[in-house]
Amino acid sequence: ARALARFYAAVGSADGRLGVGSVSEHVGQRQTTRGVLHEQTADWSVGLQVGTIKERGGRARTMAALGHRGAGGIVGFTVPAANLSVAITGSRLSSKVVVARRLLELVLTSFDDGMHLPEGIL
């Protein structure tokens, strides 16, 4: 999980760690493609799912989230505007998204004023 979170931290950084500049800018310059993942629609760009996440509390900004959800409760994403990257991995954690959603809720509520679950990635 730590390595996956580091990967998404590099994807979300604007410092060009990946040698391509800001990945968020590349996503904004390309058209997203609608597809299906685990029987749910998903928007894709530069090989990542594209979604949004909202802050809780006073500011309540809506920000872009980039990531990917896999089978068994594995999920990783970055929120570049919030300098946040999260990854959860588990061997067959659950075939349903419910367990990963609950874990993410716990993690995201502890970040600053808290964040809602990302839309378009889960």
pLDDT at position 53 over 80: yes
In a domain, 8, yes or no: yes
* Total number of domains in the chain: 1
Mean confidence (pLDDT) of the chain: 77
Dihedral sign of CA atoms 50, 94, 40, 59 in order = negative
> What pLDDT, in 10s, does the model give residues 56-100?
877 778 888 888 887 767 888 888 888 888 888 876 656 666 777
Dihedral sign of CA atoms 106, 110, 116, 119 in order = negative
The distance of Cα 48 from the centroid of its chain, to the nearest Å, equals: 9
In a domain, 114, yes or no: no
In a domain, 121, yes or no: no
pLDDT at site 29? 60
pLDDT confidence band for 111 (50 / 70 / 90): confident
Which residue did the predictor score with more confidence, 108 or 35? 108
In a domain, 116, yes or no: no
In a domain, 115, yes or no: no
pLDDT at site 14? 66
Residue 63 belongs to what domain range? 2-109
pLDDT at site 54? 92
Is the distance from CB of 53 to CB of 63 less than 8 angstroms? yes
In a domain, 120, yes or no: no
pLDDT at position 17 over 70: no
Specify the DSSP element, H or E, that contains 26.
helix 23-29
In a domain, 7, yes or no: yes
Which residue did the predictor score with more confidence, 21 or 112? 112
pLDDT at position 16 over 80: no
